Chains A and B, each alone.
Chain A
């Protein structure tokens, strides 16, 4: 199972928006609405930010939103804040009881 493809980096100034893509195949991202996104600060455990493509867990700011079109999912962070600077990973169920993660994107707040 190959990792989902994400851009290595993305950046934006405070208050701006940044969108991260996550490209897979019809066997994972395109085949299921089971795409989730995780935020990871250096030295910390990943934190769930989005599940089932576009749902936000309790406590996650509504500045974070998710979507999907075909084999590509996207995470948008609106109104960037300094604390949003982190690594972000997408994940998808990949069938046959397997999961796959994205390659990860480092978001920098300029």
Chain B
């Protein structure tokens, strides 16, 4: 059974850093495309970042240069390192497995339960 469990959220001051983790089971993270999607309180979904099976990484303009997606193959875990955090980064962060077709990322088939990040002084 595929499972994704996020952790690492919490309260952080503006300008601070936080690292989110997403532990996967039932499949191999490094063989799949994986993504982070966030949802600000009462708002819609926003794509944040993706890492391809080959290791290439891509980011939404809103987080480019501040966030870094990575994975630890032996731990079968996905990460999101978030630096220079702003109030507008406050959201529930979901990790999701991405299904690709002919090498093109297509849709998100499994999602974790999310972890809340609050950026406030």
Contact = CB atoms under 8 A, between A and B. Distances in A.
The prevalent SS among residues of B at the interface is strand
A47 interface: yes
A52 interface: yes
A30 interface: no
For chain A, the bracket of interface size reads 20 to 34
B60 A89 contact: no
B108 A45 contact: no
Interface residues of B, number: 24
Contacts of B60: 1, 98
Given A51-B99, A98-B47, A101-B46, A91 B111 contact: no
A3 B47 contact: no
Interface in B80-113: 94, 99, 101, 104-109, 111-113
A104 B44 contact: yes
A51 B107 contact: yes
Interface in A23-49: 32, 34, 36, 38, 40, 44-48
B106 A45 contact: no
B45 A36 contact: no
A103 B112 CA distance: 21
Nearest to A105: B44
Contacts of B35: 99
Nearest to A103: B44
B61 interface: yes
Interface of B: 35, 37, 44-47, 50, 56, 58, 60-61, 94, 99, 101, 104-109, 111-114
Interface of A: 1, 3, 32, 34, 36, 38, 40, 44-48, 51-52, 57, 89, 91, 93, 97-104
